[in-house]
Amino acid sequence: MLADTPLAFTETLEQSRAFDEREWRRRARRGSAGRGVATFAARDAAGRWVGTMGGVIESAGQALLVSVFVVPEHRGGGVADLLLDEVLRWAHVEAGATRIRLLVHEANPRAAAFYARQGFVRTGRTEAYPLDPTAREVEMARPLGAGTDPFTGPSTRPSARPSARPAMGLVGDTRPRYG
């Protein structure tokens, strides 16, 4: 992930390789810390892991989209749509959020275009990219709730319809796997 899409992350490949098992276990526990955090994974028909996406409740009614990654050979094939639908469902239905936001690197137009197709809009807010303060991350957000669920909301993409799903399996919320 870090080697393939370094701008999508806030740590370097070298930093992550330096972490010991204790740190990775701590991160897994943090990513499974109850109702306010969820991580989803997708696998292909052969059972191989092909993507991940998560959400964090930042404050009452406000969720943050995090940890977005799809392996290169599955990009554009519906995996990100499948994962995003689950994060949106979790954020609204299970965690009670009414809005979800994200930060996307200014030099990642493909990701920004994907989010725009999903109903996210630029808020006008930016912040410094943690690994290079001269670069910016752009905030995008969308409402959750009435008229905005993944199948009837602002997105009209064909892959949002259950009949158009890729031959993928959603592993689901990974919280029960760690502890």
| Confidence band of 178 (pLDDT split at 50, 70, 90) | very low
Confidence at residue 174, expressed as pLDDT on a 0 to 100 scale: 45
Arithmetic mean of pLDDT, 62-89: 92
More confident residue, 52 or 99: 99
pLDDT tens per residue, range 23-32: 656 655 655 5
SS3 111: helix
> Which CATH number describes the domain made up of 6-177?
3.40.630.30
pLDDT tens per residue, range 124-161: 999 999 889 999 999 999 999 866 544 434 443 444 43
In the structure encoding, which two tokens stand for residue 14, read together? 């070298």
Instruction: Compute the distance between CA of residue 101 and CA of residue 159 in angstroms, rounded to an integer.
Output: 22
Instruction: Compute the distance between CA of residue 159 and CA of residue 54 in angstroms, rounded to an integer.
Output: 19
Arithmetic mean of pLDDT, 62-80: 91
Please tell me the pTM assigned to this model. 0.74
Q: Scan for tokens 């964090």, then name that residue.
A: 56
The domain locations on the chain are: 6-177
Residues 6 or more apart whose Cβ sits within 8 Å of residue 15: none
